[in-house]
Structure 1
Amino acid sequence: MKWFSSALILAITFTETYAHKWDQTSAEGWLWYKEQAPEPIKQEESSQPKSLKSPPKKKETYQAQLLHLRENFEEAMAKSILVPTLENVNQTRDLHDKMFKKSELFSHLWMVSSLMDGRGHEAATNLNPLHRKIYEQDKTEKLSSQLKTLSKTYGLFFVFKHDCPYCHKFVPLVAEFAHRFGFELKGISKDGGTLPGLTNISKDNGILGLINPEGIYPALFLANPKTLEVMPVAWGMVSYTELLQNIETLIQAMEIPHAHS
């Protein structure tokens, strides 16, 4: 019995010692379960960019919408002509009516806008017959006054050649114009000849090479003897109305600062 107690004590001691040693042993074999579970390996995020959502579709401009509407109508019209079925013709009419209604509404609103705003109502653009008559009369009187004022500082150079038939036909008109508005009329002859209807004539002294290098006959110029300014009024033969319009254009240009400097 004594030996059993000793054996029991020895067994307990051995067990405690071995257990302590076993507990201090690093993980080997089946001891791996005592260790803390390893952290899961994090997968690196893919360097490839994530798929982006397609950007919102850009709104079509009104100009593009109008173009498409017109193109659709033209396509429907072509289809109706080449394939003339009732369905195709009805489709073409529908598109036509749609365009017409929009155009009609636009025209109506344009008129309303014009009535609400007086800026667009100018005397020169009014098409009323009576208004046009009064406007033209007023314009003629104003131009006549401007020409009489202009004749106090400017004269007219009539450039001609004796053998030029257009010069012979044009000079009476120019002489009448000069007399009516008080312009001094001076003829400059390229060849030294004379011309019926002109009393004040001088032979070219070289000035024609400067003011009429192309040699166009007849030609008419405004000339200021004080400033030596010379401006073309007519190249070749023109009507009385054109003559008035040309000089009116020059007068308007003179009113613009530095326009003829």
Structure 2
Amino acid sequence: MNRILSRVAAGVALTLGLTSFTSVANAQPTLDSQLRSLSGQVGIWYFYMSTCPYCQKQEPALAMFDERYGIEVTPVSLDGGPPPGREFEEYVPNRGQAARLGVEVTPTLYLVHPATQQTTLLAIGLSQPRELAVRIIKAAKAAGWLERPKPESTNTDRAIPGAIAGRDRGQGDSSW
């Protein structure tokens, strides 16, 4: 059905009180809001080598997660040198974390939950910002670190007149 025609039909039905409408605008939290809700709860361990060109390309996206969402990034140097990009001035030397986690390739990223000391692998190799964002949310949900917020409904349900509709709503009629 034509989009414009569908909108017109929906508008007429709502105006006449012939249908029910529930806004879903707030039903699904956005990627941004989910990332913001993780601020201060999780961090990212960024394993790198100072000579790694892929690490240098990864750093702007990591800095964005730190700055925009408050997801702290801890660069962990596998060779003792500073991060190859300009985004991170502070870093820590590897003190066995890489071996415990099986890090063999750089960049490698782990999502860390300091309160529980749990880690989960995010990415091995260069990853795009949106891909990382989705992986962070999936990992946080899977680990139970991100609760699903209850949707704020702007429910404007209206009864459908029986004479017009012919039956009460919700009786399994798939033509609704």
TM-score over 0.5 for the alignment?
Answer: yes
Q: Percent identity?
A: 28
Q: Which amino acid is the alignment partner of residue 158 of structure 1?
A: Y
Partner of 1:247: 136
Matched residue SS, 1:199: coil
Question: Shift of the alpha carbon at 1:214?
Answer: 4.5
How do 1:68-147 residues align onto structure 2 when only pairs under 5 Å count? 139=28, 141-147=29-35
Structure-2 change in CA distance of 1:200 and 1:214 (3 Å): closer
Structure-2 change in CA distance of 1:217 and 1:138 (3 Å): farther
Structure-2 change in CA distance of 1:184 and 1:255 (3 Å): closer
Matched residue SS, 1:209: helix
Deviations 1:84-126 (A, max 9, x none): xxxxxxxxxxxxxxxxxxxxxxxxxxxxxxxxxxxxxxxxxxx
Residues 65 and 72, structure 2, Cα contact 8 Å, conserved in 1: no
Partner of 1:202: 92
Q: Which amino acid is the alignment partner of residue 236 of structure 1?
A: G
Inter-partner Cα distance in structure 1 for 2:69 and 2:34 = 9
Residues 39 and 70, structure 2, Cα contact 8 Å, conserved in 1: yes
Higher-RCO chain (CA-CA 8 Å, sequence separation at least 6): 2
Structure with bigger helix share is: 1
Inter-partner Cα distance in structure 1 for 2:123 and 2:26 = 24
Structure-2 change in CA distance of 1:154 and 1:255 (3 Å): closer
Which one of 136, 142, 153 corresponds to residue 41 of structure 2?
153
Question: Shift of the alpha carbon at 1:199?
Answer: 2.2
Structure with bigger strand share is: 2
Inter-partner Cα distance in structure 2 for 1:254 and 1:143 = 17
- Radius of gyration: which is bigger? 1
Residues 185 and 200, structure 1, Cα contact 8 Å, conserved in 2: no
TM-score where L is the length of structure 1: 0.42
Which one of 67, 80, 89 corresponds to residue 192 of structure 1?
80
TM-score where L is the length of structure 2: 0.61
Inter-partner Cα distance in structure 2 for 1:236 and 1:136 = 35
Structure-2 change in CA distance of 1:200 and 1:224 (3 Å): farther
Inter-partner Cα distance in structure 1 for 2:127 and 2:47 = 14
Inter-partner Cα distance in structure 1 for 2:24 and 2:80 = 45
Q: Over the residues paired in the alignment, what is the CA RMSD in angstroms?
A: 2.4
Structure 2 gap segments, 5+ residues each: 1-22, 146-176
Partner of 2:120: 231
